[in-house]
Amino acid sequence: MKLFGKKSKPSQKAFAVVTGAGSGIGRSFALELAKRGGTVVCSDINLDAAKETVSLVEALGAKAFAVQCDVAKEEQVNQLAEQAEQLMQNPVTLVINNAGIGLGGKFDEMSSEDWHWCMNINLWGVIHGCRAFVPKFKQLGHGAIINVASAASYTAAPEMTVYNVSKAGVRALSETLSAELRKSNIKVNVLCPTLVPTNIIKNGKVPHKGLLDYALTNLAFTTSDKVAKLTLDRLDKGELYTIPQIDAKLFWLMKRTAPNLYAKFLGTSYRFMK
């Protein structure tokens, strides 16, 4: 059984699958993996967008393949896992469960359809990815998983109930898998950023789109390329969490060290915002 040694770097020369690779952080992951000598299957529900990413990866001299996949459908994710191995002619060594959507609004304004739509993609999509690849990694003797959550998984900002819950589930799943899979030589990292300039607002259902677009353009403390690079570096070091921005780190510290004070701060801030 091949084991990750202390100096092993799963992001180097990886045979990787990236969901939601057609834009944003997913595309940045694909490009960064290409720079590290990897072969990448770029999956997206939008096949044309996935093909665009493939062209960019190939321009860097790496091999890449485009596969259409709706991560909300378990059978499609299972097919993706099989197809990826056939396309790359190698076992997959890294899966990045990145596909996701944005959804905002007050709790009592969210319909059952809203809940199912968001949870099926943001949470169940990640669960499907882990279920498809963990058995393969165990059989291989090693593997690595990056699950894209959000700082929303712990900040619990108002008017983002459904999104917060979906991303909190991704973080909890990742924390549990990290403990369970360590003995199987499978590394897990969970990414929890705040604002990153991507298409998630454009393609999602969120209130105050104009304000959020302004924030993404002018108040984001990083870029998707920097986030992808940092996350892969954290994975290589065997670290569970990637919290890339200073605001995300501050919220994490506040929530962990003074949870009741943070709850009061959040409620008071929201009252002043209204």
Write out the catalytic residue numbers.
163
- Among the listed residues 183, 193, 270, 180, the one whose alpha carbon sits nearest the alpha carbon of residue 229: 193
Compute the distance between CA of residue 96 and CA of residue 30 in angstroms, rounded to an integer: 9
| Pair of tokens at residue 103 | 């959804």
Output the CA angle 165-166-171, nearest 5 degrees. Answer: 95
Dihedral, CA of residue 198, residue 202, residue 207 and residue 211, to nearest 10: 60
DSSP 204: S
Compute the distance between CA of residue 31 and CA of residue 47 in angstroms, rounded to an integer: 17
- Cβ burial 105-126 (10 Å sphere, 16+ → b, else e): beeeebeeebeebbbbbbbbbb
Q: Which amino acid is at 122?
A: N
Compute the distance between CA of residue 51 and CA of residue 269 in angstroms, rounded to an integer: 43
Compute the distance between CA of residue 99 and CA of residue 18 in angstroms, rounded to an integer: 8
**Radius of gyration of the chain, Cα coordinates, nearest whole angstrom:** 18
